[in-house]
Structure 1
């Protein structure tokens, strides 16, 4: 399933979305605002604590959802390991969040290694 253009446009406008990764029982265990970027028709998040982040580990294993303007989107969290794609996501973070705290952390190698693409279920 693909993201529609209206949702992608809104994701480009907002500062954060609510991140709801699922635990092993399929229940959301977190309601956490998180920065989001898009490139073309793809949506990306990064874990501030890197791959050790609980939401990162649970999201990859169990999926979850994001909330945007009261609408919930069920997603799979797919790790990104292509260096060119990770670099493009870093540039998207710099463009969207330039000068905001904690941009330096979010473009660090630790966070870049914890880049995920959100794929609609």
Structure 2
């Protein structure tokens, strides 16, 4: 596992949104999808509101890598499924960062969304 440098971790974690491009089986990048991103500890995470059946999430499964752009950081990443013991910290990060969107934030806090939690690791 590769770790974020402190500056990039801070910038990506503070970004309001992240653009994610997953790699297709042939190595080309899919069209960017804009989503929320949170930092919990020394990791950054994304989730699909639609869970593991969400189109962009399914796209991350073919090669398990892609590219992100957030907070001025453009980085090739590996998509790692988060462990269940990471979910509580990720939930708390979503509540803290996006809690002002009370009618929306609850959608990323469902069991369905939790199952799609991906840790983004630089490569």
TM-score (norm 2): 0.88
* Alpha-carbon offset, residue 61 of structure 1: 2.8
Q: Tell me if structure 1 keeps the 8 A contact 2:29–2:66.
A: yes
* Alpha-carbon offset, residue 12 of structure 1: 2.8
In structure 1, the partner of 2:75 is: 73
* Alpha-carbon offset, residue 95 of structure 1: 0.6
Note if 1:3 corresponds to 2:14.
no
| Structure 1 outlier segments of 4+, above 3 Å | none
| SS of equivalent residue, structure 2 residue 30 | coil
In structure 2, the partner of 1:110 is: 112
- Equivalent-residue separation in structure 2 for 1:45 and 1:69 (angstroms): 15
With over 3 angstroms needed to count, the CA separation of the structure-2 counterparts of 1:60 and 1:78, relative to structure 1, is farther
Q: Tell me if structure 1 keeps the 8 A contact 2:33–2:56.
A: no
Q: Tell me if structure 2 keeps the 8 A contact 1:60–1:76.
A: no
Corresponding residue pairs, total? 120
Note if 1:22 corresponds to 2:23.
yes
* Alpha-carbon offset, residue 98 of structure 1: 0.2
| SS of equivalent residue, structure 1 residue 57 | helix
In structure 1, the partner of 2:58 is: 57
| SS of equivalent residue, structure 1 residue 26 | coil
- Equivalent-residue separation in structure 1 for 2:69 and 2:32 (angstroms): 9
